Amino acid sequence: MTETPARPATGGTPTARSALARPAPGRRERKKAATRQSIADAALRLFLERGYEHVSVRDVAEEADVSPTTVFKHFPGGKEALVFDQEEHTDASLVAAVRERDEGEAVVDALHRYVRERWLPHTSHPQHAEFHELIDSTPALRAYSERMWVRHTDTLSAALAEEFGVPAGDLACDALARFVLEVPVLARGRADQGAAVDALFGMLREGWRAPEGAR
- Cβ–Cβ < 8 Å for 102, 17: yes
> CATH: 3.40.50.920, 3.50.50.60, 3.40.50.2000, 1.10.10.60. Which one for 27-77?
1.10.10.60
Residues 6+ apart with CB under 8 A from 81: 75, 87, 144
Tens of pLDDT, residue by residue over 149-206, are 999 999 999 999 999 999 999 999 999 999 999 999 999 889 999 999 999 999 999 9
* Fold topology of 86-210: Tetracycline Repressor; domain 2 (1.10.357)
| Alpha carbons 164 and 106: distance in angstroms, whole number | 12
- Cβ–Cβ < 8 Å for 128, 135: no
Residue 147: other Cβ atoms inside 10 A: 13
Please spell the DSSP secondary structure of 121-171, one letter per residue: GGGGSTTHHHHHHHHHT-HHHHHHHHHHHHHHHHHHHHHHHHHHT--TT-H
Which phi and psi angles does 94 have, rounded to 5°? -65, -45
pTM of the predicted model as reported, rounded to 2 decimal places: 0.77
Tens of pLDDT, residue by residue over 114-156, are 999 998 888 877 777 888 899 999 999 999 999 999 999 999 9
Tens of pLDDT, residue by residue over 97-109, are 999 999 999 999 9
Domain boundaries, the chain: 27-77, 86-210
